[in-house]
Structure 1
Amino acid sequence: MDPTLKLHKASSVPLSDSTVCKRLVGCLLYLTHTRPDICYVVGKLSQYLQSPTNIHMQAAHHVLRYPKGTTSRGLFFSSSSSTSLTRFNDSDWGACLDTRRSITCICFFLGTSLISWKSKKQSIVSKSSSEAAYRALAQASCEAQ
């Protein structure tokens, strides 16, 4: 998806028939099981399925073209990789334009292989970027346990 595109509820004209957009995002959700690189954008698109607009549909079509052009990418589990568990987490302060809540992203690697990932809106509006980062760290620690 275009990184400069900021989606929100009233971004464009609502679709007259939203079932096509809902089916397309549903197919993309199914695809995220083997393509974690599209998880964030598919999650972002799924937030607007109640009343999708033309912009949301265009973004969904753009995401659909990405896996077609990158068929050689996907999850890879190497047999010679180490067994050390590594966690990465980050937050995007006030990323949701509608609710002003931050988004937490968490990735777990076993050696060099991605084994778990999560991207979720935080339940409380953070007053600063450091508060959002602290909440992301706390959530990642709970996921690790």
Structure 2
Amino acid sequence: MQVNQKLKIVEGTTLTDKERYQRLVEKLIYLSHTRFDIAYAVGIISLFMHKLQEDHMEAVMRIVRYLKGAPGSGIIFKRNDHLKVEAYTDTDWTDNPNDRRSTVGYFTLVGGNLVT
């Protein structure tokens, strides 16, 4: 996604191919389980499954182009000599322009490997 891009529903704008959008987003959701670098962007674009517009499809295609340009960038688990548990979180309070809800993200490392 573009830096500071705020996707929202704008009344009266052109709708795009709903079935194609939903198929692409479903595949990206599945892929985001091993490609955490796209997880946030996929979470944002999945909010617009019910009323998508050209900007939303453009964001999906940007993610697809990113994936094509970065093959093999998935998660690599490596063996470490420790099982230290680390957890991090971040919150973006009421930044969603559609419903003013907060966005929360977190991740957990066990032995230096990402698990959630």
Normalising by structure 2, what TM-score?
0.91
Per the alignment, residue 84 of structure 1 pairs with 84
Counterpart Cα distance in 2 of 1:79 and 1:38: 24
Counterpart Cα distance in 1 of 2:5 and 2:67: 19
Indicate if the aligned counterparts of 2:87 and 2:109 stay in contact, CA closer than 8 A: yes
CA distance 1:81–1:12, change in 2 (3 Å): farther
> Taking CA–CA contacts closer than 8 Å with sequence separation of 6 or more, which of the two structures ends up with the larger relative contact order?
2
Counterpart Cα distance in 2 of 1:87 and 1:97: 28
Aligned length: 116
Q: Is 1:45–2:45 an aligned residue pair?
A: yes
Indicate if the aligned counterparts of 1:81 and 1:112 stay in contact, CA closer than 8 A: no
Per the alignment, residue 102 of structure 2 pairs with 102
Per the alignment, residue 33 of structure 2 pairs with 33
Matches for 1:93-132 after TM superposition, within 5 Å: 93-116=93-116
Indicate if the aligned counterparts of 2:16 and 2:52 stay in contact, CA closer than 8 A: no
| Cα displacement (A) at 1:11 | 7.4
Counterpart Cα distance in 1 of 2:99 and 2:68: 33
| Cα displacement (A) at 1:16 | 4.7
Give ranges in structure 2 of 5+ residues lacking alignment.
none
CA distance 1:53–1:12, change in 2 (3 Å): farther
Cα RMSD (Å) = 1.6
| Cα displacement (A) at 1:115 | 0.4
CA distance 1:57–1:112, change in 2 (3 Å): same
CA distance 1:65–1:11, change in 2 (3 Å): farther
Indicate if the aligned counterparts of 2:78 and 2:113 stay in contact, CA closer than 8 A: yes
CA distance 1:42–1:13, change in 2 (3 Å): same
Indicate if the aligned counterparts of 1:12 and 1:54 stay in contact, CA closer than 8 A: no
1:47 is paired with a residue of what secondary structure?
Answer: helix
Counterpart Cα distance in 2 of 1:11 and 1:103: 23
Counterpart Cα distance in 2 of 1:7 and 1:88: 26
Normalising by structure 1, what TM-score?
0.74
